[in-house]
Chains A and B, each alone.
Chain A
Amino acid sequence: KAGVTQTPRYLIKTRGQQVTLSCSPISGHRSVSWYQQTPGQGLQFLFEYFSETQRNKGNFPGRFSGRQFSNSRSEMNVSTLELGDSALYLCASSPRRQGNSGANVLTFGAGSRLTVL
């Protein structure tokens, strides 16, 4: 079955611009989580969406936002880009909402690599 698909894979923006990244989860998966990976901070949780609602949020400023559609596809948006937003943005899907009982294994996409100049 198809895995988690993220688009675009690579993009370059300039400071002050905004960017939208897309994630298509595995069919049947209703939870989509987003992570940011940088060399300095490693992998950090951004937020999770389940049933079109943001359920959990990491410690990131309000410039980072997202949404989920009825087909479970998700987008994340970063406004007023800063140089420090350069990172690999990873999307992960799972059948259940994070925090529910039961084994909850995340399947990650290949990521979208954002470079801010």
Chain B
Amino acid sequence: DAKTTQPPSMDCAEGRAANLPCNHSTISGNEYVYWYRQIHSQGPQYIIHGLKNNETNEMASLIITEDRKSSTLILPHATLRDTAVYYCIVRVLGGGADGLTFGKGTHLIIQP
């Protein structure tokens, strides 16, 4: 899996859009970008994944740059319950045989 780089922490005001960046400059053509988050004392939760087109679901939007070297996860209207550690993972579709590789992620803190 390609290496990813995320800021260690970010703040966002409640009700505003939270934009979480991820750098994956060594991504290869068949690797997807996956996002998971982990709320304190819970297991990680899948959010979204994509290859090269922008993706949107009920939780978030994923914007991938044209060269695919970076991406941004957007939570359109952040709430206090979105405070969590967000993990960006690059991986071939279906995954490799060695499990997900979680880095340190970004600790997103939503401020009231």
A103 vs B94: C-alpha distance when bound (angstroms): 5
- How far apart sit A46 and B99, CA to CA, in the bound complex (Å)? 8
Instruction: List residues of chain A with CB within 8 A of the CB of B44.
Output: 43, 90, 92, 106, 108
Interface residues on B, range: 10 to 19
User: In the bound complex, do residue A42 and residue B104 qualify as a contact, i.e. CB atoms below 8 Å apart?
Assistant: yes
Residues of A within 8 A of B95 (CB): 98-99, 104
How many residues of chain A get a CB closer than 8 Å to chain B's CBs?
29
* A110 lies within 8 A of chain B by Cβ: yes
Q: Give the nearest-CB partner of A42 in chain B.
A: B102
Do B97 and A99 touch across chains, with their CB atoms under 8 A apart?
yes
Task: Please determine whether A43 and B102 come into contact, CB atoms closer than 8 angstroms.
Answer: yes
Report the number of A-B residue pairs with Cβ-Cβ less than 8 Å.
63
Contacts of B99 in A (CB 8 A): 33, 35, 45-46, 48, 56, 58, 98
A99 lies within 8 A of B94 (CB): yes
B99 to chain A minimum Cβ distance, whole angstroms, is 3
A105 at the binding interface (Cβ < 8 Å):
yes
Cβ of B45 under 8 Å from chain A: yes
Distance in angstroms from B29 CB to nearest chain A CB is 15
Pick the contact of A92: B43, B96, B97, B104 (CB < 8 A): B43
Per the bound structure, the CA–CA distance linking A45 and B101 in Å amounts to: 8
Query: Is B93's CB within 8 Å of the partner chain A?
Result: yes
Shortest Cβ gap from A103 to chain B (Å)? 6
- State whether the Cβ of B49 lies closer than 8 Å to any Cβ in chain A: yes
Contact between chains at A43 and B100 (CB < 8 Å) = yes
**A98: nearest residue on chain B (CB-CB)?**
B95
Q: Mark A9-50, 1 if CB is under 8 A from B, else 0.
A: 000000000000000000000000101000000110110100
Contact B45 A103 (CB under 8 A): no
The distance from the CB of A88 to the nearest CB of chain B, in whole angstroms, is: 8
Task: Provide a sorted-by-A list of 9 A–B residue pairs whose CB atoms are within 8 angstroms.
Answer: A35-B99, A56-B98, A58-B98, A92-B44, A102-B93, A102-B94, A103-B94, A110-B42, A110-B43
**Taking beta carbons and an 8 Å cutoff, which residues of B are in contact with A?**
41-46, 49, 93-104
